[in-house]
Amino acid sequence: MKIPEFLNRDDYLQNPIMRRFLKEHKIDFVENRADYIKAIEEYAAQSDEAERETREWLLKVVKEGSKEICYRKIHGIGEWHRDPVLVEAKIKEIYPNCPMRNILSYRNTGERTLIEYKIITNEEDEVSKIEFTFSKLFLYGEAGKMGDVTIFPVFVEVYLDEGFVISRGKAKSTLYQYDENNHMLFGDYKVDTMDYAMSAVNKIIDMFEFEAETNPKRLKNENSQMLYRIYEKYSFTPADVVEKVESQDDVVHGFVDQIFSNLQLDVRNKGKALLDAKIFVEKFISINGNNEDIFKEDRPAYLIKVSADDEIELTKIDTTSDKKVPLQCTEAFFDSKKSVVKSKKCKRLNLIFKRTDETYFSKNNPLVVQLGTHKNYGYVKTMQYAEEADIQNVLQAIFDNY
């Protein structure tokens, strides 16, 4: 069995996940990346069962990794969408020539093709999820030079229970439209990989006649509110800090009362002053020394960057911390907290998600995830290799908070 070159060249096969495969199959660790691939191919050649197992592993890996994930919330899910017979009939009606070949065996062309689909049902034999694989040839390289040919698959998934359609694709900034007669790379033919993936999502939405918000302003507003709920969920104040802040309530109220009395200030602003004073107390408790662990240990993810716009206050916020340090124990977090809480919207979030299994991933390689809005759809970018369980954890955060 020969591993397709694009899996290696485009970094679908990353070292930590290959080391896990070698370890699980009791294969001696080898020196470099080329040896990893050779050892995996040699294992696959041992028997039909080993080849089948390796193929299934590669098909899993190609959907994992560093990914751009785009999503749209859908409505209008009807009874017929739950019927596997009717769903398959609709797919065959729109895509009658689907070859049902996986990404490892399909011979790509310059046309985007649905090469495979899978209908997943629950215990009641109702459709819960539908998976599609689209693939075609592209060129890649540097603008103004001759490009090389590569395969670029996009995976689209319909989550009926949650009401979302998502795409997964490799983040690739050097992709150009394929021309079999001319491999020169022109800037006008450069591909926005997220827009390309979303065009496949929109095809699926249209095929099933789902309803989805496409107005950029309304979509951005919906997604920004969802991101704020994630901001709240993963930046809650630890119980120990809450207790310390509450222990100073009398001092805070007395201080604010005294200032307003001494300066004869408008009492209508006292509520704002109390909020500012409590944030002040929380801030200096939170940034007091080496206490980063309390902002990590009781949550599955923690913030490292927040971007938000407050249109009323005419402020822009873009706070960040080192990726190993929770933003919540830095001054930057508290300097922006009031404005973020007031607007209840976030433009973009970067978080560290805890991996389900960290065995083969070093502490210097945490799972950084960025969430935001692009044009008229939401997106997630996994900056490092994310396994399937990790991707599902991130998606669940979106599903739960939308």
User: Per-residue pLDDT for 359 more than 60?
Assistant: yes
Identify the domain boundary among 39, 63, 87. Answer: 63
* Cβ–Cβ < 8 Å for 175, 190: yes
Tell me how many domains the chain contains.
4
CB distance 307 to 318 below 8 Å: yes
Is 148 domain-assigned? yes
Q: Are residues 372 and 225 in the same domain?
A: yes
- Domain end residue (candidates: 27, 47, 63): 63
Please indicate, yes or no, whether residues 232 and 257 belong to a single structural domain of this protein: no
pLDDT of res. 313: 43
Say yes or no: 387 and 272 in one domain: no
**pLDDT value at residue 353:** 95
**pTM, full prediction:** 0.91
Domain for residue 349, yes or no?
Answer: yes
Least confident range of 93-102, 118-127, 331-340? 331-340
Q: Tell me: do 192 and 253 sit in the same domain.
A: no
Residue 106 lies in a domain: yes
Structural domain range at position 376: 219-236+299-401
| Nearest residue to 65 via CA among 124, 6, 142 | 6
User: Domain check: are 282 and 397 in the same one?
Assistant: no
- Please write down the long-range contacts of 317-321, taking CB distance under 8 Å and 24 or more positions apart: 320/350
pLDDT in the model for residue 365: 77
Co-location of 77 and 104 in the same domain: yes
Residue 75 and residue 42 share a domain: no
* Secondary structure, 3-state, the chain: CCCCHHHHHCCCCCHHHHHHHHHHCCCCCCCCHHHHHHHHHHHHCCCHHHHHHHHHHHHHHHHCCCEEEEEEECECCCHHHHCHHHHHHHHHHHCCCCCCCCCCCCCCCCCCEEEEEEEEECCCCCEEEEEEEEEEEEEECCCCCECEEEEEEEEEEEECCCCEEEEEEECCCCEEECCCCCCECCHHHECCHHHHHHHHHHHHHHHHCCECCCCHHHHHHHHHHHHHHHHHHHCCCCHHHHHHHHCCHHHHHHHHHHHHHHHCCCHHHHHHHHHHHHHHHHHHHHCCCCCHHHHCCCCCEEEEEEEEEECCCCEEEEEECCCCCCHHHCHHHHHHHHHHHHHCCCCEEEEEECCCCCCCCCCCCCEEEEEEEECCEEEEEECCCCCHHHHHHHHHHHHHHC
Query: Is the domain of 262 the same as that of 325?
Result: no
Q: Give me the half-sphere count of Cα atoms (radius 13 Å) on the Cβ side of residue 146.
A: 3
| Phi, psi for 330 (deg, rounded to 5) | -120, 160
Q: How far apart are CA 231 and CA 224, in angstroms?
A: 10
- Per-residue pLDDT band for 188 (boundaries 50, 70, 90) equals confident
Instruction: Report residue 12's pLDDT band, with 50, 70 and 90 as the boundaries.
Output: very high
Please check whether residues 162 and 243 belong to one and the same domain: no
Are residues 133 and 54 located together in one domain of the fold? no
Mean pLDDT, the chain, whole residue set: 92
| Any domain includes 207 | yes
**Do 161 and 229 belong to one domain?**
no
pLDDT in the model for residue 312: 42
385 lies in some domain: yes
Whole-number pLDDT of residue 310: 53
Neighbours of 296 (CB within 10 A): 18
Do 193 and 308 belong together in one domain? no
> Residue 293 domain-assigned?
no
Four-residue CA torsion sign, 87, 91, 93, 97:
negative
**What spatial distance separates the first Cα and last Cα of the chain, rounded to whole Å?**
43
pLDDT-derived band at 227, boundaries 50, 70, 90: very high
Which residue, 28, 44, 63, sits at the end of a domain?
Answer: 63
